[in-house]
A and B are shown apart, each in its own frame.
Chain A
Amino acid sequence: MNIVENFDLYAPRLINKKELLSAGHRACQGCGEVLGVRLMCKALGENTVIASATGCMEIVTSMFPTTAWEVPWIHVAFENAAAVASGVEAGLKGLRKKGKIDDRYIKVVGMAGDGGTMDIGMQALSGAMERGHDMLFVCFDNEAYMNTGIQRSSGTPMGASTTTAPAGKVSSGQKTWKKNMAEIIVAHGVPYVATACPSYPLDFIRKVEKAKSIKGPSYIHCFTVCPTGWRCGSHLAIAMGRLAVESGVFPLYEVENGKYKVSSEMPKKLKPVKDYFKAQGRFRHLGEAEIQKIQKKVENEYQKILDKAKYLKAWD
């Protein structure tokens, strides 16, 4: 049976016990994004500095005068998490080479939601990736501006109803296909890009560890379920992420030095996207024809990844 077999009995033993994001944070019940952040921190460990964009994760974790963070953390603004992270990296590098701080290796991580990564933060992210900073950037993609009230972003999938692209009498919600951010970062020629989902925690943790081990820029696009914004039960947060992967809506893969590798979690045969849609209020208005259009696109996009994995070679 599915994921549990992969886990076996060893899951708690395989994972860093130390919680680097404390309970008491104000995330919604069943928040997939804060789970993603929690697991990311476990994979990163203590020698980490995080630069966060404005967004859900920022406000729920840093209510002055308290903080949920147990690693050094900085928030500056919405669109600049990658630029701040690049500055942190350069600052630490400058201090370290002059012996002004101890010589330990510190991983610098930038994080943002889909809006902070794919829309308003894309320029800063592109710049940071292109400059080759030794940093990881993680996009926690819950497919809309959830913090401000479920407005559409370029990460919102076709057909989803949001508060600024609502389903109405003459509209079926989002009119555009989701921006493929992972591919945009691949085009930057960085050493490591991966997609992940906390519904597959060991895969996600392994990818973060891999990114951590790379001295240079890396990017993880983490698909995180937002029960509030997607209008599904909070208990379904993990199940929805699993269905997104199993249906091919969000394929898990990694690209190391240009070489694509589809993650072993991907099923041989994709489930219909309808199975993924049906528990989510944001897709409830979609008719059969619209679902079929999306189904076809999902299959095409997944096939592209399979083809790249088959034909493209690593750079070196």
Chain B
Amino acid sequence: MAKRIGMEVAVAVAEAVGQCDIDMAAVYPITPQSHIAEHLSDLVADGKINAEFVTVESEHSAMSAVIGASGTGARVYTATSSQGLMLMHELLPIASGMRLPIVMGIANRAVSGPLNILNDHSDIMPQRDSGWISLFAENGQEAIDLSIQAFKIAEHKDVQLPVCVNIDGFQLTHMVEPLEFPDQELVNKFLPTRVPYATLHPAKPVTMGAFSMSDYFTEIMKAKDEALKNSKKVILEVWDEWAKMFGRSYKPVETYKAEDADILMLTMGSMGETAEMAIDGLRAKGVKAGLIKLRLWRPFPFAEIKAVVKNAKKLIVTDRAVSFGGPGGPVFSEIKSALYAEIQRPAIYNYIIGLGGRDVTVPDFVHMFEKVIADKANKAVDTYEFWGVRE
């Protein structure tokens, strides 16, 4: 097994993508994604990877270019963040509608306004319904592993959908972590050459992106929904294979001390490791606290969520984005919806945390637990609170 080396996570993600025999990448710079773009360019410039690197003039064109290239059958990659992702938004449902296995890294960052360059999840949440598979990394190792797995998932004959890998901006992208890169020969074995279902090539002319009226549109949407839902089976298979080949296992919903927990917290992304420390502290004081870490945002893992929360009395859902004028954070809304029909379900609380890079510390997480435990009459159930907001 390869040895661990210290590397900045964004650079490591580019390095991992470079192991995937990509044919083309189009990336536009944006903080905090830029180090991915820069390092990919370095790999191309040094001849370490044999790929076309297109220095597009916007994120809109980045996504357009990878759609075009993916249409030719090429293995493609792009990466972005925040406003860049918002600019791409129009094209995301088109990429999934055309069933193109594009892989995109997202260095999650708050969306304007006001302008803010730091981390939260307000960029990915508006993309929720665009038909992409959406994975969340908790640490640098996961960012690497998921970036490689993403190609295999996306290109699987039963999936053929784009995949985005969410990597918290700065809090993850700019950390230097000890990382283990998979052996190149094993990656080649894990990830064979893409076999596209159709290509833009004169040998067999096809039309991609045809115009559809009401006679077909519903059927086309249904086919996409089924494809996305069914992708979970493939995702699980890919993770299984990864565990066998590389020794690290992945699950749609990860847990930490959750089995016997009375009170659970749910996080998504890099805050899981901080929350784990809070759990350890609470456990030491005799509180049966546990953690759920949501790795798979789309397709949403309904069965797994139901299974891990069923014995808990209380569940704290943390959100790093706001659904303005809505029921709380988008993750909270999703979890509530997932558990609505369950006879045995925990009381659910929602804290909106870490907006625009606001630090959330171990004592913050401990305090959240304490506050919920103190709510003996369940008065704050089903409400949401902006954690730490000055009033």
A touches B (Cβ under 8 A): yes
List A residues at the B interface (Cβ < 8 Å). 46-49, 51, 58-59, 62-65, 67, 69-77, 79-80, 83-95, 97-98, 100-102, 104, 106, 123-124, 126-128, 130-131
Look across to chain B and name the residue whose beta carbon is closest to the beta carbon of A48. B202
The reply on B326 being an interface residue by CB < 8 A is: no
Q: A75-B210, A84-B64 are in contact. Are A90 and B54 (CB under 8 A)?
A: yes
Query: With A and B bound together, what is the CA distance between A62 and B206 in angstroms?
Result: 11
Q: Are A64 and B71 in contact (CB under 8 A)?
A: no
Query: With A and B bound together, what is the CA distance between A65 and B56 in angstroms?
Result: 32
The reply on B340 being an interface residue by CB < 8 A is: no
Q: A73-B208, A80-B61, A83-B56 are in contact. Are A90 and B91 (CB under 8 A)?
A: no
Q: Are B64 and A74 in contact (CB under 8 A)?
A: no
Interface string of B184-221 (1 = CB under 8 A from A): 00000000010000011111011111111100100010
The reply on B238 being an interface residue by CB < 8 A is: no
Residues of chain A within 8 A of B24, CB atoms compared: 87, 90-91, 94
Residues of chain B within 8 A of A46, CB atoms compared: 202, 205
Give A273 Cβ to nearest chain B Cβ, in Å. 37
Residues of chain A within 8 A of B316, CB atoms compared: none
Which of A79, A86, A92 makes the CB contact (< 8 A) with B65?
Answer: A86
Q: Are B90 and A47 in contact (CB under 8 A)?
A: no
Q: Are B74 and A95 in contact (CB under 8 A)?
A: yes
Give A235 Cβ to nearest chain B Cβ, in Å. 28
The reply on B301 being an interface residue by CB < 8 A is: no
Residues of chain B within 8 A of A58, CB atoms compared: 211
Q: Are B50 and A97 in contact (CB under 8 A)?
A: yes
The reply on B26 being an interface residue by CB < 8 A is: yes
Which of B50, B65, B71 makes the CB contact (< 8 A) with A98?
Answer: B50
Q: A76-B91, A87-B65, A124-B60 are in contact. Are A71 and B205 (CB under 8 A)?
A: yes
Give B19 Cβ to nearest chain A Cβ, in Å. 16
Q: Are A84 and B68 in contact (CB under 8 A)?
A: yes
The reply on B370 being an interface residue by CB < 8 A is: no
Q: Are A86 and B68 in contact (CB under 8 A)?
A: yes
Residues of chain A within 8 A of B206, CB atoms compared: 72-73
Which of B61, B72, B193, B205 makes the CB contact (< 8 A) with A88?
Answer: B72
Query: With A and B bound together, what is the CA distance between A86 and B71 in angstroms?
Result: 12
The reply on B57 being an interface residue by CB < 8 A is: yes
